[in-house]
Structure formats: C-alpha cells, structure tokens
Amino acid sequence: MTIIHIHEFSTGILVDGTDDNGEWRSRGFSGEYMNSTLAKIPRPVQLAIKNREFAVSEGASSQNPAIIGREVEYHGEAWSVIAVVTRGIDERGRCVSLYRYFLCQERGKLPDLVSWYMKNGMPTFNPSDHKQVGYPTEYDDTETQINDYIPHELDGIWEGKTPIIIPQKQTPYPALIIHKIASKTDPARYNELISWAWNVEDLEKPNRFLVIHPANQKAEGRIKSQIASIPQLTTPLKETSVKIAVRNSCRTGNFQNNLVTIEKALNNPKIQQDYTTFWGDIFENEGSEYAYQQGIYDKYKVRLLTLQAIICPEKLPDFVAWIMKKEKDYYPISQSFQQEILRVILNQDSVISDKITKGINILILNVIDRPKLTEVAAKFLSDETGLWGKIYKTYISLGLKNETSIFGLPVKREIPKQQWTGREIKETAIFLLSSVFRGGASGCFIAIIYFLLIFTLGGFFLQRLLNLANLSVPGLPGGSNNSESPIIKKAIKSFPKTKGSLLQIQQDLKQTTRADASKHNKNEIDEAISKILDPNNSFELKTLNKTEDNKDKEKWILSILYYQLYKVTPSNSDDFDGIIDKDGKTYQALKCNLLQNMQLQATQATADNCKKLGFSQVKVATPSPTRDQKIEKAVSEFDKSQKTKLSLETLVKELDQAFGLDTSSSSSSSVIKVLDPNNEFEIYLSPMTEVEDKEAWVKAILQYQESLKSRLKKEPSIKIDVDGVINYGKNTYNLLKCDVAAQLGQTLSNTPICGKVKPIIDSSTPPRG
C-alpha cells in the first residue's frame, strides 16, 4: 500500500453566485488561484498552463465537465495532473471556462487521479469547497484497479498517428479507457509524457495530445478540422525516436547510443525539406528558447543547447554568447559533452563534422556583425579539446596554409599563437576588416585584433570577405579597386539581369494585398528592398532607374553580396556572386523576405516555399467567401457565445436601461428599423430559433454592414467585416448601437465610434444629438 497526496487548486474568480442552471457567475478573474493546497504551483504545471496545454477554447466547455489528463515535467521534476473544466458565466453573460486541477507528484499517477476522482463524486469547480495550504487529500493507491479491458471496437486504434480521435458514442467511453489507449501509443511506449482529453468540445492545442475523446460529433468535426489545418512534417522517420535520442543524449551525456538515430534524421531528405521547423520543434519543446530567454543553466540545458548548436549551426553564435557568460561553472559540462561527441565521430565520415565547420563559418560572420562576440568567440575556438576548437584548429592548419599562400600571406603551422599578430598580417587584417561594409560595421575591426579571424578567413571564407571589402591591397583579389575584381566585373556585366529581377519582384508584389486589404505603393516596395539589402544605409543605394554608372551598380552589387552572405541561409544560398537571377535562391529569398516584412499575402505554394527558405511568417491569402457561404457560416454561428443572437438581445437590454425604456417603448423595434428599414427580410427579435429566421437576420445584417462601409468617413477610418455576424463589443455591434440610439432620438455618451460613420439618411429618423 502506498499513500499518495492529491493536491488541488482552481481558477481564481470574483464570485457572483450561480445562475438558474447552477453555473457559477464571475465578476472577473482575481489574478491568482483559489482553494489551493499548495503554497506555490509547481513549475512544470505552471509552464504547461502558461503554454495553454490544458486549455479548451474559451467558452467551449460543455455543461458536463471535460477532463484533461497530462503528465508534465521540467528540470527533472514531474507531476501527473487532471484538469476538470466546466462552464461559467461572466458579468456580461458570456461563457467562460473554469478549471479545477488535481495533481500529484511523479509520472504514472493519472490512473490514480482518475480513479479517486470517479469514486469521490466527480468534484468540479466550486469556490465554496474551501481548501487549505498543506492539507492535500490522502489516497491509498491500492484502490486503483486497472485491467487490460478495451472495447473490441477500439482494438488497435492506438497504432494510428497521434493525436488519435476516439469517436463519440451515446454513452462516452470512461476516462480510464482513454488513458489506457494513450499509454499504448508509440510516443508513450518511447517514454513520452502521456496526455489525453476526455469529453471536450474544443481544444486550443489539439496536436499536443496523444488521444482525444470529443464530447459529440460536432466537436469531433471541429477538432479534426483544426488538426488538419496545422502544418505537419511528413517523414518516414518517426519524430518521436529523434526526440528520445536528443533527450537521452542530454540527460546522460552519452552520445554513442544515439548517434545512429540522429544521423539518420540529419541525412533524411524529407526532413531536409523542412529542416528548420523539424529540429526547431524538437529543441524548443525541450526548452531551448526558454533557457536562452530566462538565462537558465543546468546540466541538461547545457547539453541540449550544445547539441542544438551542432545540429543547427545558425544557433552557434547565440550558444557561444550564452555559455561563455557562465564559463567557469557550466562550460566544463559542455566541454565534456563535446569531447564525447568528438570521440564518437572521430575517424568517421559524419555529417556532424560538416555542421561544425558551417557553424564556425557562421560564428565568424556574426563576429563581424556583432563585435561584442569577438572575445568570447576567440576564447571558445581556442579550446582545442572541444569539438569546435578541434575542427577549427584543423581547418586553420590544413586549409589556410595553402589557400593564403595564393594571396602572399604565408602561414606556418608551427607559428605559436602569441605570434599571430605579426606586423604584416596584422596590418593587412586590420585594413581588410576596416574596409568591410564602410559605415555599417565601422570600428568592428578594433575588436577583432585577436586575429581569430585572419586565420579563419582562409579558403572560400577569405574569398567571400574580399569580394565584399572595398579592396586596395596590391596582390590581393580585387587589385587596386573593386571594379578590377573578377567577381565585381562579372556582376556589373550581369547587372541588367539583376535589375530585371528586382523590377520583376516589384511588379509581382504590386499584385498582392495585405490581410486587411490595404494597398501599398511602389515607393513602399523600393524602401523595403533598400532596407533589406542595405539595412544600415551603408551603400546609400540609388533607385534602380538612376543607376547610371558603375559606381552606383557596385553599391547595389555589394549590398546584394551582403544579403547573400548574411541573410540567405547557407543551405539555401546561391554562389556569392552579387547577381540576382530569377531562377536563383537569392531571388526567391528576397521576394519571401519582402512578403514577410511588408505583411503581404501570398499563395499557399509561395508561402510553403518561403517556409523552406526560413521565412515562416509569410501570410497566405484566403479566397473571399461567396455571399451564400457567408450566410451559411453566419447562420452556423448565430447562437454561439458573444455572437449574433446574444449580441442583439444584449444590445436591446443595454439601450433600454440607458434610456429608461420599458417593454412598450423598447428599442427592439428600432433595431429592426435600422437593420431592415424596408421590411425586406421580415425579421423579429423573438424567437430567432428557426433556420429561416436566422437566415433573414443574417441577410439583414449583411445589408447593414455593406451600408456601413459606404457610410464610413475617410478619416479616421475603421474596419467593417461584412460577414453577417454581430460580435459583441465589436465595430458592427457598436455602430448598430449608435444608429439605434439615433433612431430613438438619443445620443450615446462616451462613444467616439459613432462619429466615424455618416448618419443614416432617412426622413423619419431624428437628427443625432
């Protein structure tokens, strides 16, 4: 027998009694939890709540309680939690979701929580059920009886892709059945945290559950549609196995046993199509971004961010800045993990080695852009026992010696580090680095006197930097000025192609709109292009039509080289040639960059391509619904919380109270007069229950919204959604209130929105005020 302690806490509200249906009324949220047996909510539970992992969509909880079961874990601390969700009413009559959480320490306790809950009357949210800190419920876990029974119609359903939807039947399956199915899924067998939802109307994050049992068929349809709308990576390699490999590596520091899984993922063509999203999700779900943002350091996070910097080389600069802040305390953990990985991949043809080299390249480029990184980057790469330091040393010793000799900069392996700052190399390096991006990175060379850089600028890296520099060193590529550089010469010769590509981008963007349908002009596009290619105005770019001589063209070419070098991700870049070709990645990346920055809408295909190039925020244009589609949708939403029916009833009630009207002089007739002045749709406020009645109201509202758009004053303007829906407190609602008040010969106080539309022209309507 084991006694477990079941703690609890509930949503904190300002209680205003109950309504006729027994639902709790709230005057607002108190800002803290109530009836808690815990002095402080455990961190793993706090984070899960903050991340909306227990959340049903607002107001979607049914009168019958929904239950969310979830194991949560953070920094080795684990809890099992069930959240019981019921519906309440706020001070405006709107539905709100009220939560009562039951929890106990450790994973694997969900069956105990559910068994206790069912045997103790299924307690729900109840502010009157007072609890005290330090007095949890004690439960004998021998009372939990779990067998292997699962209804035959559900046999094998756990083998499907998660989240698994359990169809609703007349009598819902017990919550324990749902738990048993969740525990049999592949992720659970791989030791993933168990999560399920029972009797739910809607969920904010349905894709974060293993199993979902909807409350009814409509709920099932909604949840399935929501899951289908979430972009998912299709890959034959199960993401779960990669998560486990990452997690195990970071928990134990042992990389040998996880190398095969991670390398398979790195080499998987499907994953490579959406590399950033796949790996980003894995590391973010383990808390990588939170560790950066909150400055969290522990063994697990140090190994996690070390591994992320290896697999995602673009994260190396952030990792270096983060780890070197706590060098004495935490770098040894990373160093040991690096040595373990180095031991495993040594003498192997591993893709990880390529990632390390790419990371070094990116780090150096970031040092040029972020001079404050210089000292810590130099120190980081000088650790020859670490993974990056070891490969960095090899990179210098073998590659640089041959490649710099081409430029008359002899480098010998035996030169000790303290002599790296020899006069000739030092002077040359200072000159080179001080010439890069004149104005944009001025002064950065002072911080780079360590000459970490001069040795890593060998090979293709030195070539790229020299292409960008305003060179005047005899014997180096570029000769006495840029125009003599072969790359600049070629780019000038190809400038008509570049100019044509940029003009085509401008032309394409003119055909797009923003989500709010607002227009953009050519000047906006020109400015956006200049801001992307020359963010610091280092080159003072002239407009394309005024590029009269080679100097003007050179400025454009240098800015394009800057963009290719810094902004186009290495895996997607063209040659660094200063040319924009319509068929090239630079063209695609720049177009996506503009779409994202200007918040323009693109086709789904364009947005998908942009995501692969690292521009995940490009908006997708949605086709405008037809009038019939608008009517159908508005009718389906007519009775929903804060939608048309409730809004109309509330509007009449508010106006009657504001102007002291009784039933004989109610504002209801004026609402009808405003929405249907010619009695075209024959609308009535009561009962509004039949589909035909709702359709008539929706058609009248559509007509009214269209008239509102025509009555809008130019300045200041507001947005009117022509959708046949009246949302409580939104523009259609507020403007209708203004018009009905005017119809009554009244004026609403403190409602500036009334002045944003012209009054209804109707001889029977008294003037406002």
Tokens of 172: 């819902």
Structure confidence at residue 762 (pLDDT): 56
DSSP 3-state assignment of 34?
A: strand
**Strand-pair partners of 289:** none
| Separation of alpha carbons 648 and 726, rounded Å | 8
pLDDT confidence of residue 237: 46
Rounded to whole angstroms, the Cα distance separating 631 from 344 reads: 63
Q: In this predicted model, what pLDDT tens digit does every residue of 655-683 receive, in sequence order?
A: 998 888 887 677 888 999 999 988 888 88
More reliable by pLDDT, 252 or 485: 252
Number of H helices, E strands in the chain: 32, 12
Whether the per-residue pLDDT at 254 is higher than 80: the answer is yes
Residue 629, number of CB atoms within 10 A of its CB = 11
Tokens of 704: 């009214």
pLDDT tens column, 435-480: 333 333 333 332 232 333 333 333 333 433 443 333 322 223 333 3
Would you say 658 and 748 are in contact if contact means Cβ atoms under 8 Å apart?
Answer: yes
* CA 497 distance to own-chain centroid: 36
The answer to whether the CB of 39 falls within 8 A of the CB of 73 is no
**What is the token pair recorded at 472?**
């005047």
Token pair for 479: 């000769």
The answer to whether residues 80 and 71 touch, using CB atoms and an 8 Å cutoff, is yes
pLDDT band at 621 (very low <50, low <70, confident <90, very high): confident
CB 193 within 8 A of CB 72: yes
The pLDDT of residue 458 is 35
pLDDT single digits (tens) 696-739: 999 999 999 999 988 888 766 688 889 999 999 899 999 999 99
Predicted structure pTM score: 0.41
pLDDT in tens, 273-319: 777 778 988 888 788 888 888 888 999 999 999 999 999 999 999 99
* Nearest Cα residue to 239 out of 286, 281, 184: 281
Q: Which two tokens stand for residue 44?
A: 């793993």
**Neighbour tally for 355: CB within 10 Å:** 18
In the predicted model, is pLDDT for residue 105 greater than 90? Answer: yes
- The pLDDT of residue 680 is 86
* Residue, of 574 and 204, whose pLDDT is higher: 204
